[in-house]
Amino acid sequence: MDYLKSLNTAQRDAVENLEGPMMVIAGAGSGKTRVLTYRIAHLINNNVDPFHILALTFTNKAAKEMKKRIGELVGEGEAMNIWMGTFHSIFARILRMECDRIGYPRNFTIYDTQDSKSLIKTIVKEYHLDDKLYKPGIVYNRISSAKNNLISATAYAKNDDIIADDRMNNRPKMGEIYMEYQKRCFRSNAMDFDDLLFKTNVLLKDHPDVLHKYQHKFKFILVDEYQDTNYSQYIIIKRLAALNENLCVVGDDAQSIYGFRGANIQNILNFKKDYPDFKLFKLEQNYRSTKVIVDVANTIIANNVDQIKKKVWTENGEGDKIKLYKALTDNEEGRIIANSIFENHQQHQAKHLDFAILYRTNAQSRSFEEALRKLNIPYKIYGGLSFYQRKEIKDLLAYFRLTANFHDEESLKRIINYPKRGIGKTSLDHATVAAKEHGVSLWNILANPDKYSLPINNGTKSKISDFIALIKSFATKLETDNAYVLASNIASSCNLLKELYTDKTPEGLSRFENVQELLNGIKEFTDNAPKDEVRFLSDFLLDVALLTDADSDKPEDYNKVTLMTVHAAKGLEFPFVYVVGMEENLFPSQLSVNSRSDLEEERRLFYVAVTRAEKKAFLSYAVSRYRWGNLTQCEPSRFLEEIDERFIDADEFPAKRKQNTAGIQFENTANFLGRPANRTSAAPKKNLVPPNLKKISSTTGSPAVDLEKLKEGSNVLHARFGKGKVVKLEGMAPNVKATVYFPSAGQKQLLLKFAKLEVLD
């Protein structure tokens, strides 16, 4: 029990509380991972069987690090037996074992976002729909949001509110696409990422014996980053914990920043309602940052209404004040920050990897990249193309996936003629049509062209037959050869390695090296299997399908300045942090300033940004920057006003805002799908335009738009598009935008200072 001596009093209290529902509110840098790790070790040391412990994290990297530390405390063998991993990896594992109960084979494929969007694109094309209205990204997000709210394709098609919303957005076929998408996934023996949770909920709801089994198996449940859970995750946890209620959730409501992904802060705020006899533990000592940084973070988050109150403190040194830079333009902002990094790098003998520039949107990176390059400061854009999303990697993985699951349509279409083997698009189109007509998989059609009267010549039939035989030959070794042996065999036999090797361009060489690196990774995966266990290709495919962005991108591996969005920075820390673009309508985002819940999430995002800093934090804003192709004047962020000036080092403090937000009608804007029946739904939207902004004069000489008359639901007349109805208003003068639905032209987004709009009622 010596490990308990290294904990502070609050941490130790949380670790030693073994039974019953409990919530650990962990301030930034307060050691929450240590508490989770030590609590699991303490459970095992108190005779809890590790097979009965379920620990859920949000990255595989976090799970692996925790498992390693637990192994050091209680022994590697015990640690290996804990059910620990991401929500998706744990429940994919359960679905592999139980999927026959919901009609899926054990070898089902997991589609990534790119696969899903490709399938959606195909469906939109087959339905002869406008691909500008039904963009794959828009449709995918809509389906994803539905699944995260546990709305099936059938329920979606029967929901009058959803149908009306789709019609308003000029996408009335959305429900049909969702239905067809699910049918095609099922026909391909595939689940997308959201299905792993959606289908788990179906499994636990429709099969009480399965729920009973896992309620008895998981006697102790721990959930990291509970503030980031969505409704689907919340329901799974609630069901599994219902029997024993030995549930420990750890998180920080002040760092709930993923509302746009479906995360629901109410899950953590309402924990006390779900478990009235719960115990609350607060970790308030910050070990990461200076006193100034901690005090600034406290003053920021104090402005939020929806929160669990805590007072974070630190015994670290006072530290420097936060430096605030004012720039005339966004380009000058880039130069100021680059010069500051150059100077601090020299003065503090710091490494480049000690510095991070955090921005609200990816588009802001340009000015910083240019300025850093001019000073020869190496940098890395965090969140670029993942290794596993590169074309050559996706191509080889498609061979692996098709070998494991013949009915994986996306993989089949990707590789049937790569490397080229003379099977043309026309033949594939004929096969695709036949598959839809007969309701079978594309593989079945291609494997039996005569049975389905496929209109292709004998030469093409022979080439398809050779391809089918090749894949089948690989499949015979799925359960005999380990992952590396079979993967190497496939890479060589399908001629993909040869194709890449013959391309002697620098790009071709890079692609060949990437494939070699993938094979090296599979070799490591195979070699690191537990004793007496053989890891097969299907095991690797599951492992790689569940990687998150945080697992595959490692900014700490490069001695370069890190450039990233604040969202991407969550969970990371850097000695020197620059939070840039601190302007109204940028940070906070223009889309968030008219709703209190959205504005509070933006403030939590700012809190996350500041608390990434260990030694020094810097803030900056520009007086003007280019937006929508126009040089616009910028107003300093309201968040800057919320910081006590005694913590700020600035040549000039921003003037107080001329417009305050007291007159804005704040609303708790619900997701467009609405909350499920057992959750509180938000009130309908009202006119969100501040009443003190009467009119916007157009810079083009068109008549002023009267905002007193203009509101959501208003009928308007546009010189080009004719009559329409206002769907949404957002932003502040002079950049108020209106989303208007025109029967003649569909939905349009108009900047009111340029639009020639006449209010008709």
Whole-angstrom distance, CA of residue 273 vs CA of residue 362: 38
Enter the tokens of residue 193: 């990422």
Instruction: Return the active site residues.
Output: 32-33, 224-225, 255, 612
* DSSP assignment letter at 589: B
Q: How far is CA 521 from CA 152, 387, 706, in A?
A: 37, 12, 62
Whole-angstrom distance, CA of residue 232 vs CA of residue 150: 6
Enter the tokens of residue 258: 């993923």
Peptide bond just before 172 cis, omega within 30 deg? no
3-state secondary structure of 324: strand
The count of residues in the chain is 761
Nearest CA among 196, 169, 190, 171 for reference residue 119: 190
Burial 190-219 (b: 16+ CB within 10 A, else e): bbbbbbbbbbbbebbeeeeebbeebbeebb
Q: How far is CA 192 from CA 108, 429, 635, in A?
A: 10, 24, 42
SS3 annotation, 693-720 = CCEECCCCCCCCEECCCCCCCCEEEECC
Burial 71-83 (b: 16+ CB within 10 A, else e): bebbeeebbeebb
Whole-angstrom distance, CA of residue 204 vs CA of residue 532: 33
Whole-angstrom distance, CA of residue 164 vs CA of residue 741: 13
Chain centre to alpha carbon of residue 92: 18
Under 8 Å CB-to-CB from 140, ≥6 apart: which residues? Answer: 113, 116, 117, 120
Enter the tokens of residue 741: 């639905």
Sequence letter at residue 142: R
Nearest CA among 551, 550, 553, 518 for reference residue 537: 518
Is 353 in contact with 555 (CB distance < 8 Å)? yes
Chain centre to alpha carbon of residue 731: 25
Whole-angstrom distance, CA of residue 717 vs CA of residue 742: 9
